[in-house]
Amino acid sequence: MKRISPILIAVLGIIVGALAVTTYNAYRTRKHLYNVQYGQWRKLNLILDQVDQNYVDTVDNEGVTEAAIVAALAKLDPHSVYMPPVEFNEAETDLAGNFDGIGIQFNVPNDTATVIEVIKGGPSEKAGLQQGDRILKVDDKVIAGVGFPQDSMVRRMKGPAGSKVKITVGRGKETIPFEITRGKIPVHCVDAAFMANDTTGYLKLSKFSKTTYNEVSIASLKLLSQGMKKLILDLRDNTGGYFDQALLLSNMFLEKGDEIVYMEGLHRKRDEYKADGKGILKNVALTVLINESSASSSEIFAGAIQDNDRGTIIGRRSFGKGLVQEPLYFSDGSGVRLTVARFYTPSGRCIQKPYSDDYRYDIYKRYSGGEMYDADSIKVDSTAAYKTISGRTVYGGGGIIPDVFVPVDTTRATNFYIACNRKATQMRFSSAMFDRYKGTIAGIEDFDELSKTLDGMDIPGKFKEYASRVDGISCTPQEWKDTEEYLVPQLRALIGRYSKLGDNAFYKMYLGVDTTIRKAIEQE
Written as one letter, the residue type at 92 is E
Return the pLDDT at 20: 44
Return the pLDDT at 26: 45
- The b-or-e profile of 216-237 (16+ CB within 10 A means b, else e) is bbebbeebbeeebebbbbbbbb
Task: Provide the 10 A C-beta neighbour count for residue 343.
Answer: 27
Extract the runs of DSSP E, i.e. beta strands, from 206-284: 230-234, 259-265, 268-274
3-class DSSP state of 447 = helix
Spatial separation of the C-alpha atoms in residues 80 and 339, rounded to whole Å = 5
Rounded to two decimals, the pTM is 0.82
Return the pLDDT at 95: 67
- The b-or-e profile of 347-381 (16+ CB within 10 A means b, else e) is bebbbbbeeeeeeeebeeebeeeebbbeeeebeee
Return the pLDDT at 355: 86
Return the pLDDT at 280: 97
What is the number of residues in the chain?
524
Taken in order 84, 87, 90, 94, is the CA torsion positive or negative?
Answer: negative
Return the pLDDT at 34: 47
Task: Provide the 10 A C-beta neighbour count for residue 26.
Answer: 10
Return the pLDDT at 39: 57
Contacts of 388 (CB under 8 A, 6+ apart): 306, 307, 308, 309, 347, 394
Return the pLDDT at 91: 74
**Active-site residues: which are they?**
296, 307, 321
Task: For residue 99, list its beta bridge partners.
Answer: 185
Main-chain dihedrals φ then ψ at residue 251, nearest 5 degrees: -60, -25
Task: Provide the 10 A C-beta neighbour count for residue 514.
Answer: 18
pLDDT tens for the 524 residues of the chain, in order: 444 454 444 444 444 444 444 444 444 444 445 454 455 567 778 888 888 889 899 888 888 888 888 888 888 998 998 888 877 777 776 666 667 888 888 888 778 888 888 877 788 888 888 888 889 999 999 989 888 888 788 888 888 888 999 999 998 888 989 999 998 887 789 999 999 999 999 999 999 999 999 999 999 999 999 999 999 999 999 999 999 999 999 999 999 999 999 999 999 999 999 999 999 999 999 999 999 999 999 999 999 999 999 999 999 999 999 999 988 888 888 888 999 999 999 999 999 998 887 787 888 888 888 999 988 888 888 888 999 999 999 998 889 999 999 998 877 778 999 999 888 899 889 988 988 898 899 889 999 999 999 999 999 999 999 999 999 999 999 999 999 988 999 999 999 988 989 889 999 998 888 999 999 998 76
Helix orientation angle between 415-422 and 477-496, rounded to the nearest 10 degrees:
40
3-class DSSP state of 205 = strand
